Amino acid sequence: MALLLLFSTIFSISNFISSAQNTNASACKCSNPSESCWPSADAWKALNSSIAGRLLVPIPAALPCYKDTFDNASCSIAMSRWSDPSWRIDQAGAVQYANWELLGEDGCPLNTTAAKNGQCRRGNLPEYSVRAATAGDVQAAVRFAAKYRLKLKVRGGAHSYHGQSTEAGSMVVWTRDLRNISFSDDFRPAGCNAGQRGQSAVKVHAGDVWEDVYRAADTRKVVVVGAMSGTVAAAGGYVQGGGHGPISHMFGLAADNNQDLFWALRGGGGGTFGVVVSATYRTFPAFSRVIGTFVSIIPANAPSLLEVTRHFIEIQGALSDENWAGYFEIRRERLFFGYLIPNGEASQVNETLGGFLSYVRQQQGLTIQVANVKEFPSFLVWRQAASCAFFGAQCVESTGHNLQIASRLIPRETMEKSPMELAQALVNVLDNGIGRIIGCFVAGGKVAEEQDNAVNPVWRKALWQLVLPTSWLEGTSLMEQDVKTKALTHANSLLRDLTQESGAYLNEADFNEPNWQESFFGVNFERLKSIKKVVDPNKLFRCHNCVGDDINVC
């Protein structure tokens, strides 16, 4: 474990002073601890020298496409790869979802009209970014930010749905170059008894992404709990928020498989308590096979959708008991799911799903468009097939657009006691302007076991995590965006009202989540808040709806 933990010498800011306003500040003499003292040009130069020239000024990714800065080759690359998450992760001036690059209407969108006639602005990009290559670079950045009370952000895969890895007027610690994946057959966390038996484990760094970890693990003939998305950073906000994935049901959440990090960092949220440079996860023997099924059901009308959704909900508990897991999508025109059983048998498909599929075939208002069952030789191969099934021909999620989401953890008890009420709520969500509902059938099983970490305990009672996305085209007015995001929060209230004792997965939650402290952290919030006051009392690390966001440092 490599964690840079912050103590009482750390400072933060709540009111940013831009370099244009305060270019002569060479030392911090602010009387208000919530104010920043913007470093002088010489101070920035000294920082850059101390980290071997790795201080960057992030440039908007679309800048080469604007009239005054046009570069044909660079613009062609930006236009062709704008929605490619593996390209965006390596752009200092881009995050995965373009709306977080904008500050109101101020920014640098990739829009033909704007590029020809408009002006590319920095928008919500940070002032500076430290592209750290060593833990020493991270330490230098943190010390510098503390000295000048700068707003410090942490960026790994830049997947935050709350825009936590970028903010105007901030400095970012960019961990992409911290990459090294190594395995051990005899890992023992610090503090273990000398005679305690070691475990099979993989150590990853903050710049490693899950696609690379999965491929390395497959070569090693082991599996590890990680994200479905391959461009999510393996040691960043993913695990610090809890971390779910396709095999969580079998082995637990990512935070459950990482005893190497401090309690608060396993579920307390990323970018809040410090910068995690590396993390070590438990690994497990590779599966002998993976049984996968992909089913697409077409309803003829709204009543048929309601009924098939109810029946689908009713079988989830039994599927969980038989070690099924996976993902699904509900639209007005389709119910699609891709599920897997690690180390399963093909006969289990008929035994567990046969009744449901027979019911569907007997209904005049339902048509099975696809019902494939296949044995895959490894988890890696199943994941590739599932990615193609869900993301289309490109077999990878598309990013670069404007996206905001809301989510809810659905308890097993709700699904078993109130299947029709839940089905009706889902149909009502679709009727409230949400085009699709993404379902993550990743809880239950091992996730249901209590763990000594900061993960919200409501995870232990859930079977599903439901995600509601909304998006808008470039150029949509701020007023129209506000209407959409308020509609999203309202639609999610239909699920909140039905599951009042549950909560939301903080990494994939509504930016405007009501009562976020309870929803994201549950009974753990007060303990996390106490830890925050000790390790970062002046809120150097701050982000929207994170632990400490409601602490006044003045």
**Residue 441, CA distances (Å) to 266, 380, 445, 449, 466 in order:** 21, 18, 11, 16, 9
User: Which sign does the torsion angle of CA 453, 454, 460, 466 carry?
Assistant: negative
In eight-state DSSP terms, residue 38 is P
Distance CA 239, CA 243 (A): 5
pLDDT at 258: 84
Say if CB 377 and CB 475 are below 8 A apart.
no
Cβ–Cβ under 8 Å, residues 135 and 4: yes
Strands 182-187 and 170-174: unpaired
Radius of gyration of the chain from its Cα atoms, rounded to whole angstroms: 24
H or E segment to which residue 290 belongs: strand 290-299
Query: pLDDT value at position 260?
Result: 61
Specify whether the CB–CB gap between 334 and 297 falls below 8 A: yes
Q: pLDDT value at position 346?
A: 87
**Element (DSSP H or E) covering residue 26:** none
Strands 151-155 and 170-174 come out as parallel
Give me the residues paired with residue 376 across strands: 290
How much is the pLDDT for 190?
Answer: 73
CA 372: distance to chain centroid?
Answer: 29
Which residue, among 48, 205, 45, 198, has the nearest Cα to 130 in the 3D structure?
Answer: 48
CATH for 41-174? 3.30.43.10
Residue pair 248/340 in contact by the 8 Å Cβ criterion: no
What is the spatial distance between Cα 394 and Cα 409, in angstroms, rounded to a whole number?
Answer: 29
Q: Which residues contact 545 (CB under 8 A, 6 or more apart)?
A: 162, 506, 509, 511, 513, 516, 520
Q: What is residue 554's predicted lDDT score, i.e. its pLDDT?
A: 44
Tokens representing residue 33 in the block: 């601890």
Cβ partners under 8 Å of residue 405, min gap 6? 161, 467, 468, 469, 470, 488, 508, 509, 510
pLDDT at 115 (0 to 100): 62
Phi, psi of 46 (to 5 degrees): -65, -40
The residues of the chain scoring below 70 in pLDDT are 1-36, 112-116, 191-195, 260-261, 551-554
Return the SS3 of 385: helix
Report pLDDT digits (tens) over 108-140: 998 766 666 778 999 999 999 999 999 999 999
